[in-house]
Amino acid sequence: MSERASIRDVAVRAGVSPTTVSHVLNNTPGTRTSEKTRARVHAAAAELGYSANAVARALRTRRSDSVGFVGDEIATTPFAGKLILGAQEVVRQHDGVLLVTNTSYDAELENREIRELLSRDIDGVLYAAMYHRVVTVPASLHAAPVVVLNARTNDDRSWVSPDEYAGGEDAAQVLIDAGHRRLAMIGNADPIPAASGRPAGFLARAAAAGIPSEDVTVVYVSPTAGHAAEAAMRLLDRPDRPTGLFCFNDLMAMGAYNSARRLGLRIPDDLSVVGFDDLAILSAAVDPALTTVALPHLEMGAWAAEQLYVEIAARATGQPSPVRHAELRGEVVHRASVGSPPR
């Protein structure tokens, strides 16, 4: 273990001082070193398999090349993994490392974790929510660069969230493209951004396609498969039923699937269904596989990490943090639940 080479070892082997080794290996701007010496240093470092001790460096430079990822729940959705992965790819390019913590919606725990991160001189934090909502960044983070991920905030901080409106538009477009002219949406009655954005986009696109407003229905229910099933039952159990149905999320689409089955409606022959979220495990496994609007988790994670590095760099040069916001559009994943309208 302890046989790791230090900068002194490299210096001795190259016949120079540690200062020079540091300058050469870091390409420190404003320093000069002859080509010959540079070569000797590089050779010595390579022979010893030297790589700088990140802890020592962090102590001196007050920069640890590590960023914290504080999430509210990491265990129950596959979303967390995608957010983390997207962020990680960017962090890796910066030779950094991700410190992941989970707060379980527990404010006290969150503060303890944040202290723990701060005591490690992290360069910044990604403050992530597992579903799109409005968060407030804890006061303990006031001094650190922070980007809010998969959420928005009223604090003066950068954030990135899904473009819910565009998602609603895209869902409508899928149905319209398939030829549907009688549409419905089972929405979410909760007061969260997605619950208003998705139907707004859906309605707008339907209107833009010239579908009369009496031919597109939106109902709002509690976001469970059970409530969605009831809503679908009411929506579908009549002769002039919609032929294209957009559900607030994939889980609710499963409720619609069940109701359709009970009513003897085949998907996609009698009814086309579009979901939201792209819970891949679920939507690819059911029969028929569910066409759905994916959430751009990978992209959001990457965007947030990029932005965080921008803010970290700004702070390093003493400039104010450039606050930015983004709403990213998800892609439609075409599977088998959408077809032409009946007859």
Cβ burial of 292 (10 Å; 0-12, 13-18, 19+) is buried
- Minimal distance in Å, beta carbon 230 to its own copies? 14
Among 57-65, 131-139, 154-162, 193-201, the segment contacting its own copies (CB under 8 A): 57-65
The reply on whether position 43 binds DNA by CB under 7 A is no
Q: From its own copies, DNA, none, which one binds at residue 332 (CB under 5 to 8 Å depending on kind)? A: none
Q: Looking at residues 76 to 95 of the shown chain, list those that interact with its own copies (rule: CB under 8 A).
A: 76-78, 80-82, 84-85, 88, 92, 95
DSSP β-ladder status, 291-294 and 332-333: antiparallel
SS (H, E, C) the chain: CCCCCCHHHHHHHHCCCHHHHHHHHHCCCCCCCCHHHHHHHHHHHHHHCCCCCHHHHHHHHCCCCEEEEEECCCCCCCHHHHHHHHHHHHHHHCCCEEEEEECCCCHHHHHHHHHHHHCCCCCEEEEECCCCCEECCCHHHCCCCEEEECCEECCCCEEEEECHHHHHHHHHHHHHHCCCCCEEEEEECCCCHHHHHHHHHHHHHHHHCCCCHHHEEEEEECCCHHHHHHHHHHHHCCCCCCCEEEECCHHHHHHHHHHHHHCCCCCCCCCEEEEEECCHHHHHHCCCCCEEEECCHHHHHHHHHHHHHHHHHHHHCCCCCCCCEEEECCCEECCCCCCCCCC
Do the beta carbons of residue 31 and residue 2 sit within 8 Å? no
**What is the total count of residues that contact its own copies (CB under 8 A)?**
60
Instruction: Specify the amino acid at residue 162.
Output: P
- Minimal distance in Å, beta carbon 112 to DNA? 17
Q: Looking at residues 282 to 341 of the shown chain, list those that interact with its own copies (rule: CB under 8 A).
A: 282, 285-287, 298
**Among residues 56 and 208, whose Cβ is nearest to its own copies?**
56
The reply on whether position 18 binds DNA by CB under 7 A is yes
Find the binder of DNA among 12, 48, 52, 97 (CB under 7 A).
52
Q: From DNA, its own copies, none, which one binds at residue 196 (CB under 5 to 8 Å depending on kind)? A: none
The reply on whether position 25 binds its own copies by CB under 8 A is no
The reply on whether position 234 binds DNA by CB under 7 A is no
**Among residues 84 and 235, whose Cβ is nearest to its own copies?**
84
The reply on whether position 109 binds DNA by CB under 7 A is no
Q: Looking at residues 94 to 133 of the shown chain, list those that interact with its own copies (rule: CB under 8 A).
A: 95, 97-102, 112-113, 115-121
The reply on whether position 85 binds DNA by CB under 7 A is no
- Minimal distance in Å, beta carbon 173 to DNA? 52
- Minimal distance in Å, beta carbon 145 to its own copies? 10
Binding site for its own copies (CB under 8 A): 1-2, 4, 51-56, 58-59, 62, 64, 66, 69, 74-78, 80-82, 84-85, 88, 92, 95, 97-102, 112-113, 115-121, 143-144, 225, 250-251, 254, 257-258, 261, 279-282, 285-287, 298
Binding site for DNA (CB under 7 A): 4-8, 15-23, 25-26, 28, 31-34, 36-37, 50, 52-53, 56-57, 59-62
